[in-house]
Amino acid sequence: MKPEEFRRIGHEVVDWIADYRARVEEFPVRSQVEPGWVRGQLSALPERGEGFGPLLADLDRVVLPGTTHWQHPGFFAYFPSNASLPSVLGDLLSSGLGVQGMLWATSPAATEVEQHLMDELVTAMDLPRSFLGGGVIQDTASSAALVAVLAALHRSSGGTWRKSGVDGAETVYVSSQTHSSLERAARLAGLGERAVRAVPVSPSTLAMDAAALAERVRADVAAGRRPVLVCATVGTTGTGAVDPLREIADVCAEHGIWLHVDAAWAGPAALCPEFRDLFDGLERADSFTANAHKWMLTAFDLSLFWTAHPGVLVDALAILPEYLRNTATESGAVVDYRDWQIPLGRRFRALKLWSVLRWYGLEGVRAHLRGHVELAALLESWVGASEDWELVTPRTLSLVTIARRDGDDATRAAMDRVNGSGRAFVTHTAVDGRFAIRVAIGAEATREEHVRALWEALDA
C-alpha cells in the first residue's frame, strides 16, 4: 500500500468509524447473535488481495451485528471502556509510527513522552511524590498486578527468588471482593493458590477488615510463612467497596509487606480533589494502578502503574542479553521500559493518553468524571424513593448496586428484561448471597436521559 493509497483508503476508514460513532445508539447494546453465527458468515481467506471495500462491507454485514457496543450510551455493564475519538486518533498515530519501544535506544520519544506523562499525572492526581520516576504504562491492571507480585517477591526474598525460585512459604493477601487478577498473578508467579489468603470484609461496607488482616498475617508469620504482598482496592468490581488503606498500611509496615493498591476503575477519580478522600493512606503504598482505558477516555489497552521502588521492580525483571546491549543503556542515564513489564516488546501507548489529555485538558477529564458521579447520585435518589427497589451497598462514585425488595427472581427478571430489550446493558453481582444489579455509569455519551430510560425500564 503506497502512501497515496493509504491516504485515500484512510479517509474511508475514518469516515466509517465516524459514521459508526454517530449512529451507535441505533444498535442493540448487547450483541444479539448466537454462538458460531459470526464464524458462519466468514469466507475463506482470499488468495489474491481484494482491497478494503469488501472488508468494510463485512464490517457492516458481520462485525457490527456480532459486536457488543461498549461506546453505546446505554452501556452500564462491567466498567466503562472509554475509547474516545481523540484516543483513537492517538492510537492511529502510534500504529503509523510503528515503533517498538522496548529500549530507550529503540525510540527515545516513546520512553520520554511516557515518563513525562506519568510524572505529570502524579501531580495532577495528587499522588505520593514517591511515585515520581516510578511510573510506567502497562497493558492492563492484570499485568500491573503480576509485576507488583514479582517485585514484592523479589524484595521479600532478598533477591534469591531469581535464582532459586519460590520456596512455598510465601503468602499473598486479598479480600473476597478483590479482583481475580490478583489470584491469577499469584499463580503465574509460581506461588500457587495455596499462597493466597482471603481476608474477611466488613459486612456493611464489604471493605477489607484490617484487624482480620493483622490477625491472619501474624498467624502466618508464627507458622513460618513469609507474607509477600497485600492488595487493597479502591473501588472493587462487584460493589465499588473501598478498603481502608491507612489501616492496611499499618499492618504491612509492621511486617515489611508490599502494599499494592488496585484502583483500576476508580483511580482516575483522583484527578478531582473532592474524591481524594477515597485514597487516604496511598502515600504509604509500594505500588498503585489505575486504568486510563476504563474511565479516563483512553482506548483499550492502557493501564497506569506507579511504584515507589522502581529499582526493585527492575531488579526483579531485568535480563540483558548481548543483542540488546547498547551505549545508552550501559550509560545508566536512560530508562528501558522492557525491564518494567512482562513482555519484552512494547507499543507507543503513551500517544493515546497524550492525545486525550491534549484534547480534553485536565478540566475536561474532570468534567467527564464528575458528570457520571452526578448521574449515579441521581439514580441513587430514585432508588431511595422507590418502594420496590433498594440499594444493596452504599454508592461509590458512579457505581450503584441495587436489587428489588421482593427477591432474587424479580431482580434477575428485571435485568434480563432490560438486557433483552437492546436499549441498555447491565450486569450483576452477589452480595452476601443476594443477587444484585450493578449499574456502572461511565460511557462517554451517557446523559441523564439514558439513565432515566434505564431506571424506567428496570422499574417497569
453 pLDDT band (50/70/90 cuts)? Answer: very high
Average pLDDT over residues 406-423: 96
Q: Which three cell numbers mark 90?
A: 492517538
Does the pLDDT value for residue 320 go beyond 80? no
The pLDDT tens digits for 267-318 are 999 999 999 999 999 999 999 999 999 999 999 999 999 999 999 999 999 8
Long-range contacts of 220-225 (CB under 8 A, 24+ apart): 220/171, 221/255, 224/169, 225/169, 225/170, 225/171
319 pLDDT band (50/70/90 cuts)? Answer: confident
400 pLDDT band (50/70/90 cuts)? Answer: very high
**Predicted local distance difference test score (pLDDT) of residue 129:** 97
162 pLDDT band (50/70/90 cuts)? Answer: confident
Structural domains of the chain sorted by starting position, each given as residue range(s) with its CATH number in brackets: 1-30+68-84+360-460 (3.90.1150.170), 99-347 (3.40.640.10)
pTM for this prediction: 0.95
Mean per-residue pLDDT of the chain: 95
The pLDDT tens digits for 184-218 are 999 998 998 889 999 999 998 999 999 999 999 99
Range with the lowest mean pLDDT among 4-8, 165-169, 408-412, 445-449?
Answer: 165-169
One-letter-per-residue 3-state SS of 79-139? CCCCCCHHHHHHHHHHHHHCCCCCCCCCCHHHHHHHHHHHHHHHHHCCCCHHHCCCEEEEC
